[in-house]
Amino acid sequence: ALSYAILPAFFLFRDVWAMRQWKTTASTAGGRQAFFQAIVNMALDILSRSLKRTSLIRVVWVLLGVQLLVVLWWRRALLGCLGHGGSPGLFLLILVAGKWATGTVSRLLGLVASGGVTNWFVQQSLLMEQVEQAKQRQQRAEEGTATSSSSSSTNGDNSNGGVQGETNMTTTTRVVHSQNPNMLEEYRTVDASAYQPVMDLDEGVDDDGMDEDEAETEAVTGLAGLFNEQGNSTVRGFLVSGLTVSFGSVAQCGLLGGFAQFVWSILRNLDGITTFYQNRFGGGARAVGFRGMQIGDNDTATTIYGLLAKIFGQLHTMARHFVRTHSDLAMCQVAAYYKSYQRAAQDVGVLVDGSGIEPIIHDDITTHMCAAVCGSISGMIVMFFGLILDRRQATDHIQDKTVVQSMLVAFILCYVLLFTVMEPLRASIKAIYVCFAQHPESLSQTFPLIFHRLNRISEANLV
């Protein structure tokens, strides 16, 4: 029975080690936990603004019911395989198939949440562009006013009596306007000659005959049309796209997305170890690390270290390529632009490398915190379930192995259900990182503290 305790012991050891690492590596006491709380609040706030709350809750309940049916089928298959003495290969096949099915359902929830976050960032980016355009128009208007005022002064010195009378009328009008207390300062002091077109006529004419307001509305609607056919983002639109055109990407992410992130975490840790040995031992670390090796030299290729360097280098390249094309960070691009999973993963990889947010994603504790919560609640449920089986063991003559197997399967299934509930939060936070890499200024006005933290870390990584 001790062999069945490996999985709960692994989760316990991982959670304790992660908590200890967060406390020892944080610059301030509880720094990572405090940032996790802040970004969770921000993700929930963005979801409430971008998606209709009642529709999102309804979809969560529906998909959670579907996940429950899949979990019950998975449980029956696993217990049937264990009860009838199935081969380890069949048990492994059922385990992978159940993980794929449950992962697909949970990734469908993540697709809806990622689409809502991406939609909000696009809207904020449009607002920032409109504000910037308004500032530029105001600046051009001020420059045009200054130019007209100087031109009026020059013409006033050489004008005749009629023009002088017109100038006196303008002065009288300005005095009358200055007596109005409700008028802005710019309108009190402006000259009548300043009211002239600031924009060139070629720039102000649309080819389709639309005015400025219609053209601006058409541009916003066309950009919002990336999300669904109606021109606005809805939970139903993202769900339908996830079940139709993007279902293949959702299924791929459900099977390989979590494993790709696990491989990426291992690669990051190996890179950290390599950097440590290079800084600590200098040139002697070249026989241990993966980078900086003289692969292909005739002298080193014949040695054991050279052979190991070639093998590790090839494995490292293959692992990097796999992570590059199967990262679950691609779901926001799949939801927003209907890209294929691998194409979206490659585009997200380019964004992450160019923006410098890779250390932020690596140090994020959202997945660990969600896993710790799910593991704790699942453990308590399994303990309660074990007490019930212990009381029935004496009367129904249940074997200890059967009890342990039932408890282990119950732990896995409870963990999967709880992790499905946490998937929208995980997907939202990951989408925030990717959208920040694409639209960094979108958080500057709405969430300035988180914007400054993310901007500072990303800029430091680019230096």
Of 208-217, 380-389, 408-417, give the lowest mean pLDDT range.
208-217
Q: What is the mean pLDDT of residues 133-148?
A: 82
Q: pLDDT confidence of 213, banded at 50, 70, 90?
A: very low
Rounded CA-CA distance 351/297 in Å is 35
Maximum average pLDDT range among 158-167, 173-182, 373-382, 421-430: 421-430
CA atoms of 422 and 109, how far apart (whole Å): 10
Q: Give CA–CA dist 29/23, Å, rounded.
A: 7
CB atoms closer than 10 angstroms to residue 241: 23
CB atoms under 10 Å from CB of 391, counted, come to 10
At residue 117, the pLDDT reads 92
Domain layout of the chain by residue ranges? 2-21+53-132+244-280+306-462
| Across 352-363, average pLDDT | 86
Mean pLDDT of 174-199: 43
Q: What is the pLDDT of residue 188?
A: 45
User: In the prediction, which pLDDT does 93 show?
Assistant: 92
The 3-class SS string of 225-236 reads CCCCCCCCCCHH
334: confidence class by pLDDT, cuts 50, 70, 90: very high
Please indicate whether residue 131 or residue 334 has the higher confidence score (pLDDT): 334
pTM score, two decimals? 0.72
Q: What is the mean pLDDT of residues 402-409?
A: 80
What is the H or E stretch that residue 237 is in?
A: helix 235-243
Taking the C-alpha atoms of residue 105 and residue 452, their distance in angstroms, rounded to an integer, is 35
- Packing angle, helices 247-281 and 341-355, rounded to 10: 30
Given this model, what pLDDT does residue 232 score? 43
pLDDT-derived band at 151, boundaries 50, 70, 90: low
Length of the chain: 463
Q: Look at 192 and 268; give whichever has higher pLDDT.
A: 268
Greater confidence (70 vs 287) lies with 70
pLDDT at 128: 83
Q: Per-residue pLDDT tens for 47-82?
A: 988 888 889 999 999 999 999 999 999 988 888 887
Helices (H) and strands (E) in the chain, counts: 18, 0
pLDDT given for residue 231 in this prediction = 38
Note the pLDDT of residue 312.
83
Section 75-103 average pLDDT: 87
DSSP secondary structure of 258-314: HHHHHHHHHHHHHHHHHHHHHHHHGGGGGGTSSSS--TT-HHHHTSHHHHHHHHHHH
Q: How far apart are CA 321 and CA 267, in angstroms?
A: 12
